[in-house]
Structure 1
C-alpha cells in the first residue's frame, strides 16, 4: 500500500467537526492499508489524524522539526518519528516519504505544504497524486481564486489538472487509490 501524507491544521482551538474529519481520515487510511505520513504533531487535526490511524490499526510516520519537539507537541507514539533541523527540511522529508498527498482544511502551514508539492508537480519533479478535501466548501474561495489565475494566464491549464478536489475523505482516497494502481 501507499504512504499518504496528510496536510492539516495543528491549532488547538478548532471546532470539533474538523477534528472529527481528521480522525475519519486517519481511520480510512488505515482501513485501506495505507501508512499515514504527518507533520509529526500531536495537537489539533494533526493529532486527531494520527490517533484515528492508530485506532484503526494503521502505521504512522511523523516528521517534525526539533523546534516543535522542544515545544512538546511531537507525536511520540508514532511508529516512526523523524526529527529535522527546520521546517524546510521537514517538508522535503515529508515529500520524499510520501506517495500521495491529501490536504484537509487548514491554515497557512497547510497551504504552504500543499502549494510546495503542487509547485514541484507542475515542474515535473514528481507525479504523485494530490487531493484537496473540500468539505462544506472550505476551499471554494481559494479554488475560485486559483481558477482566476488560470483565466489570466498566470497558471497553465495542465497545472490545474494536477490538483484533484473531493468533497469527502472516501472520495479523496478513491482518487488517490485509482491513480496509484
Structure 2
C-alpha cells in the first residue's frame, strides 16, 4: 500500500515522508494515517484532481513535494523546538490547513473540520507566482491555495467544497489578501 501510486505518480510513502522534520526524526515518527477509510480517499482525490494535472504538465522531475500528509506524530514534532538550535521544527495549524486530512483526535473529532487534504510543493525552475497563474488558467478545482512568496512552495488543498480560497502570507506568516487581487478576481469576479 505504501508504495502504490494514489494517482498517476505519488505514493503514500512519498506523501507521508517528504518533510524535513520527518527526515530529521524518522526513527521516532509514524508518518502514516490511522483513519485509512477516510484519509486515503481524500489524499487520492488531491492527487487525481490537483497534483496529477500539475505533474502531467511540468513533469515528475520538476515537481518537488515539500509537505504532504501530517500524522499525529509529525504534528507533535512540528510543534516542538529543535533541541540543538532552539528553533521550532515547523509551523502547523491542523484546525485549518488540511494536512491531517480526515484524521481524528482522541475525542473522535476531525483535527480539521474542513476535511479534504492538502500539500505544499513547488516546481523546480518556476517562480511560484507563475505556478499559481497556471493553476488558475487550468481552473484546477482547489479548495484553498496559500502563496508564501515567489521562491517558496505553495500550499494547495482539495475538498469537495472547492471554496477557491486564496491567501498570500507576509514574511511574518500573517495571512493577507494584499497583492493578490488579480487572482482573487479570477476565482470570484465579484471580489
Does the alignment reach a TM-score above 0.5? no
The structure richer in helix per residue is 1
Q: Of the two structures, which has the highest relative contact order with CA contacts closer than 8 Å and spacing of 6 or more?
A: 1
With structure 2 as the length reference, what TM-score do the two structures score? 0.28
With structure 1 as the length reference, what TM-score do the two structures score? 0.29
